[in-house]
């Protein structure tokens, strides 16, 4: 008996020491030698407590496919013109197939050869020959499709990570969730709208030539010349908030994209208006030089996500690979634009599936109110236990305190986050942790009434209550485990604290309190139980 008591005391001391080590970083500011030798994880607060934004994005991978097909369509047109293959039409059908109609069956072989040599990522889906017109439907091979979809998500993830890094958020979480979803958590963000704008913008920068030969008014009526499109420039009056839209008739062909950007920086003109200066890499610079050289006196439209920012007239050939984007920006807007341009464009647009933002003040209030209810609720329980069970109640209270400490230490050790429902879970554990002791004490009282000695009463009290305590806790544990498995966000936090609390309460109520009783009963040989 004596020996087992000694071992149990050692076990408890070990548990308390480990608990303290894990708790210390969250409570004190520790010297660096300590942090490098001992665990330095802190209890981290969930977004609902510290404020921040939770964002679930879906990458529209279909769009990545249709972009690829569009590119292939224009490649085909160029090749057909060069090789002098007569065609009726070449166009995209749906998001991932394209239709090619050749006017002369004699070119069938040549086409097949081109397809084989230069487009290994395409496969023939259907083939038809009627009245001298050969019709093919082509699609991306399943392997290529899968690759493109995965690339769209992975590249998107990387781009978003770069943007967030540049934006400057401490401890962001950015991870892929299922096939085409990206989960982003930004603690402590103050301006969610701006963050969404930076993260979610596709930021596809394109340069196109303005078609000034045709009449824009005719085009607006619906008679758009072939190979052209209408895009708008939207400008917001900063004072009135009024948005004016100006249409531009553009030649559809994209001459240059932001792919070749090497840098983007905010500059100010002589009137102190901000603009974004961009520069291209060598191949981009060469292309820019050719484009400007071939289109002198025409207007070059600078387009970001299908919105025309500006369309200056090209006065002369521009070499050196630099350009500027103007657009009636505020300094902040210009800076954000520079960030997204530097980080690169998303390969496919994203859609917001879920957004949860908690302002810092609400998070602050939640913590304060949570702690207040823990203190008051906890104090009520502690006081009750002391009044009802006297000295034994104090022992139970000590076990309760240890329980709280173990929960917090375990949160730090497992790097779990403390959420508002998590605080509720802790509180609930207070209520339930005393249950184990209540069961034991009630049983012990019953045994005492039958005339047993304190020693015997405690022994059989613990023995008989043990099975009941296990049964009761395991059923709650089952519920908590499934909540953890299927729960998300805050609910998971609730399940975590509840689970840790239940396990810790088994230890504190059954082992710790027993040791204290055993110590007093064997060493001090007390004759009467204060229960």
Number of residues that make up the chain: 531
Rg (CA), the chain: 35
| φ and ψ of 34, to 5 deg | -65, -45
Contact 448, 457 (CB under 8 A): yes
Six-digit token pair at 76?
Answer: 């085909």
Burial annotation 495-527 (CB, 10 A radius, 16+ → b, else e): bbbbbbbbbbbbbbbbebbbbbbbebbeeeeee
Q: How far is the CB of 470 from another protein (least distance, A)?
A: 9
Residue 183 binding another protein, by CB under 8 A: no
| φ and ψ of 526, to 5 deg | -70, 150
Nearer to another protein by C-beta: 189 or 323?
189
Maximum Cα interatomic distance, the chain, rounded to a whole number of Å: 112
Stretch touching another protein by CB under 8 A, among 74-82, 114-122, 276-284, 471-479: 471-479
Q: How far is the CB of 376 from another protein (least distance, A)?
A: 5
Residue 262 binding another protein, by CB under 8 A: no
Positions in 58-77 near another protein (CB under 8 A): 58
Residue 182 binding another protein, by CB under 8 A: no
> Which of 141, 263, 453, 488 is in the footprint of another protein by CB under 8 A?
488
DSSP at 125: E
> Which of 46, 156, 187, 490 is in the footprint of another protein by CB under 8 A?
490
Residue 210 binding another protein, by CB under 8 A: no
Residue 476 binding another protein, by CB under 8 A: yes
> Which of 475, 519, 522, 530 is in the footprint of another protein by CB under 8 A?
475
Residue 348 binding another protein, by CB under 8 A: no
Nearer to another protein by C-beta: 67 or 437?
437
Stretch touching another protein by CB under 8 A, among 17-25, 278-286, 486-494, 510-518: 486-494
Q: How far is the CB of 359 from another protein (least distance, A)?
A: 4
Six-digit token pair at 137?
Answer: 């439907």
Positions in 386-445 near another protein (CB under 8 A): 387-390, 420-421, 423-424, 427-428, 430-432, 434-435, 438-439, 442, 445
Rounded Cα gap, residues 55 and 169, in angstroms: 14
Q: Which residues contact 81 (CB under 8 A, 6 or more apart)?
A: none
List the one residue out of 172, 104, 180, 102 whose CA is nearest residue 146.
Answer: 180
Residue 56 binding another protein, by CB under 8 A: yes
Positions in 86-115 near another protein (CB under 8 A): none
In order, the DSSP letters of 213-242 are SS-HHHHHTT-PPTTEEEEEEEEE-TTT--
Six-digit token pair at 341?
Answer: 């341009």
Positions in 34-53 near another protein (CB under 8 A): 48
């Amino acid at each position: 008996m004596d020996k087992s008591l000694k071992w149990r005391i050692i076990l408890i001391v070990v548990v308390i020491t480990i608990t303290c080590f894990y708790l210390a970083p969250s409570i004190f500011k520790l010297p660096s030698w300590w942090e490098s030798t001992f665990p330095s994880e802190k209890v981290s607060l969930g977004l609902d407590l510290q404020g921040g934004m939770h964002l679930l994005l879906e990458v529209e991978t279909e769009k990545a496919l249709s972009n690829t097909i569009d590119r292939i369509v224009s490649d085909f047109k160029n090749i057909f013109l060069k090789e002098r293959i007569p065609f009726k039409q070449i166009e995209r059908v749906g998001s991932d197939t394209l239709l090619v109609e050749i006017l002369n069956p004699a070119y069938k072989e040549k086409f097949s050869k081109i397809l084989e040599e230069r487009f290994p990522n395409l496969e023939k889906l259907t083939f038809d020959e009627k009245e001298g017109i050969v019709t093919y439907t082509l699609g991306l091979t399943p392997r290529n499709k899968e690759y493109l979809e995965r690339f769209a998500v992975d590249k998107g993830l990387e781009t978003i990570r770069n943007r967030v890094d540049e934006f400057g958020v401490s401890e962001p979480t950015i991870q892929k969730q299922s096939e085409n979803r990206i989960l982003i958590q930004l603690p402590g963000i103050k301006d969610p709208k701006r963050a969404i704008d930076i993260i979610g913008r596709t930021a596809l920068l394109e340069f196109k030539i303005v078609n000034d030969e045709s009449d824009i008014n005719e085009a607006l009526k619906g008679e758009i010349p072939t190979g052209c499109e209408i895009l708008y420039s939207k400008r917001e009056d900063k004072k009135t908030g009024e948005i004016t839209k100006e249409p531009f008739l553009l030649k559809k062909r994209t001459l240059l994209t932001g792919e070749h950007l090497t840098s983007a920086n905010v500059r100010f003109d002589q009137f102190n208006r901000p603009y974004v200066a961009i520069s291209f890499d060598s191949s981009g610079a060469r292309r820019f030089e050719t484009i400007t050289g071939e289109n002198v006196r025409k207007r070059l439209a600078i387009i970001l996500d299908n919105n025309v920012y500006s369309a200056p007239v090209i006065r002369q050939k521009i070499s050196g690979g630099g350009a500027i984007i103007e657009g009636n920006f505020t300094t902040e807007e210009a800076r954000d634009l520079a960030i997204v341009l530097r980080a690169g464009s998303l390969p496919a647009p994203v859609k917001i599936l879920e957004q949860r933002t908690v302002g810092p003040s609400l998070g602050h209030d939640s913590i304060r109110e949570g702690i207040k209810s823990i203190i008051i609720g906890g104090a009520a329980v502690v006081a009750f236990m002391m009044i009802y069970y006297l000295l034994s109640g104090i022992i139970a209270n000590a076990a309760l305190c240890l329980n709280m400490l173990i929960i917090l230490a375990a949160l730090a050790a497992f790097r779990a986050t403390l959420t508002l429902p998590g605080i509720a879970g802790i509180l609930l554990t207070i209520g339930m942790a005393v249950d184990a002791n209540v069961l034991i004490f009630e049983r012990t009282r019953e045994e005492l009434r039958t005339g047993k000695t304190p020693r015997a009463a405690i022994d059989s009290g613990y023995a008989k209550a043990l099975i009941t305590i296990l049964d009761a806790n395991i059923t709650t544990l089952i519920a908590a485990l499934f909540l953890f498995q299927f729960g998300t966000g805050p609910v998971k936090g609730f399940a975590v604290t509840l689970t840790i609390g239940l396990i810790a309460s088994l230890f504190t109520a059954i082992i710790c309190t027993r040791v204290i009783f055993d110590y007093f009963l064997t060493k001090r040989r007390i004759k009467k139980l204060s229960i």
